[in-house]
Structure 1
Amino acid sequence: MTEKKIGLSALALKWIAVITMLTDHLGIALLGTAPDAVCGGMRIAGRLAFPIYCFLLVEGFYHTSNIKKYLIRLGVFALVSEIPFDLLLFGRIFYADYQNVFFTLFIGLLLLYLYSRFLANVQPIYAIMAFVSMLCLAFVIRSDYGAEGVLIIFLFYFFRTRPVPMVISIGIVLFLMGGIEPFAMLAFLPIAVYNGERGGRIPDSPAKRIWQKYFFYCFYPVHLVLLWAAEHFLLT
């Protein structure tokens, strides 16, 4: 029997990210209904979600058996989530000037794939070009967290075995982003006790395995739709 490691598994980190993200988006849905201090506190709590997702994305990059399928999953859910995202944040079915966070994660993962591949083939110039082009892409399409979000993903990757420069560099990015983003540094508390384990019991049926694999992907668009519906039909 394998002894369980002390600390938080990847599954535990996913739950922390999901709960804080839900708290953040609930704060958005309650704007104008709940006191500003309550909504503000919920949005601050939500700052933990994105760095945890970035950290898990990098871990997934190193442990996935098929990076191309990983990219396809992120791309598909980026498209699926766009209408729910636009409805909740902008009150319309389509808003071209800002894209959901799945686009940022997709671009970040694509950057890691291209950068590592070019370096492996001793093509540092192409690796740098991939880095710059992916930051520009996130900036141009205005994905959630933008070029700074993709940069944070890259810093988790680049300093993966060097926690001190990782924390310092990401902290600088968050500070420069301004607003409430520096509160995202609190995400390093649960990340610091990550034990390297996936967590959870492997389901004994294919259907349960699929459900376990896609639950956290599906949660994003589903909770956005539910919050939008609650905002427009229950809180008005």
Structure 2
Amino acid sequence: MKKKAGLSSMALKWIAVISMFIDHLGVVLAGTLSYEVCRGMRIAGRLAFPIYCFLLVEGFYHSSDIKKYLLRLGVFALISEIPFNLLLTGGISYPQYQNVFVTLFIGLLLLYLYNRFLANVQPIYAIMTFVSMLCLAFVLKCDYGAEGVLIIFLFYFFRFRPVPMFISVGLVLVLMGGIEPFALAAFLPIAFYNEERGRYLPKGKTMQKRYQYFFYWFYPVHLIALSCFRYFVLR
């Protein structure tokens, strides 16, 4: 079977991971490097979240078991909370802000419930679910907040209509202000998505699972590593 031109989901994951790492490294190096350099690193990191949201929606459509998908996100949201707090504040507790896995979990839960209610011809419940998940993200103060969950929903709602999808998501990013409009650059790699998993996936179901979990574990592990770097090297 001939490989399609463009970027696979694996390639998009690597772009998101590298972008996220640069972003968080910019957080750690703030005060050590110049403001302009650290701001540039934070701007480069804006690519990560839209790509993760887009891939979450693709995972929703292609996953054989959404409940297991939700469980994975929920577990890693819990695992990542202390590492996230350590990087953000240097302490283990910070209830004012939650890690991005919480945002992704709420977003996937919204897609699961919304789609289920629509399938059962219960549009009122679908709308109520949409509103309640946005409120939940706002109350929990998860990374990117209710806007982040809205972005996930827009990628889902306009999945087969790329022009309104990019316009609506772009509008949310612009309205978020700050450096978030720079996340519009993520539309370029997303536009080249070829709907393939990636040619370099290892053979065998067990190996593929391990490779998949690398991207889950990378988030809390790199947060811990960067926190240790700041504490032991930059002090």
TM-score, normalized by length of structure 1? 0.98
Shift of 1:8: 0.2
The alignment partner of 2:194 has SS state of coil
Identical-residue share of aligned pairs (%): 73
Shift of 1:32: 0.5
Runs of 5+ unmatched residues, structure 2: none
* Change in CA separation of 1:200 and 1:126 when aligned onto 2, cut-off 3 Å: same
- 1:158 matched to which residue of 2? 157
TM-score, normalized by length of structure 2? 0.98
Aligned-residue RMSD, C-alpha: 0.9
* Count of aligned positions: 235
Shift of 1:205: 4.7
Q: Distance in 2 between matches of 1:103 and 1:7?
A: 30
The alignment partner of 1:200 has SS state of coil
- 1:142 matched to which residue of 2? 141
Shift of 1:156: 0.2
Shift of 1:168: 1.0
Q: Distance in 1 between matches of 2:117 and 2:23?
A: 37
Q: Distance in 2 between matches of 1:165 and 1:29?
A: 37
- 1:229 matched to which residue of 2? 228
Runs of 5+ unmatched residues, structure 1: none
The alignment partner of 2:228 has SS state of helix
Counterpart residue identity of residue 178, structure 1: G
- 2:180 matched to which residue of 1? 181
- 1:112 matched to which residue of 2? 111
- 2:130 matched to which residue of 1? 131
Q: Distance in 2 between matches of 1:54 and 1:108?
A: 8
Shift of 1:204: 3.7
Q: Distance in 2 between matches of 1:70 and 1:118?
A: 19
Q: Distance in 2 between matches of 1:220 and 1:232?
A: 19
Q: Distance in 1 between matches of 2:60 and 2:158?
A: 14
1:3 aligns with 2:2: yes
The alignment partner of 2:215 has SS state of helix
Q: Distance in 2 between matches of 1:5 and 1:53?
A: 21
- 1:171 matched to which residue of 2? 170
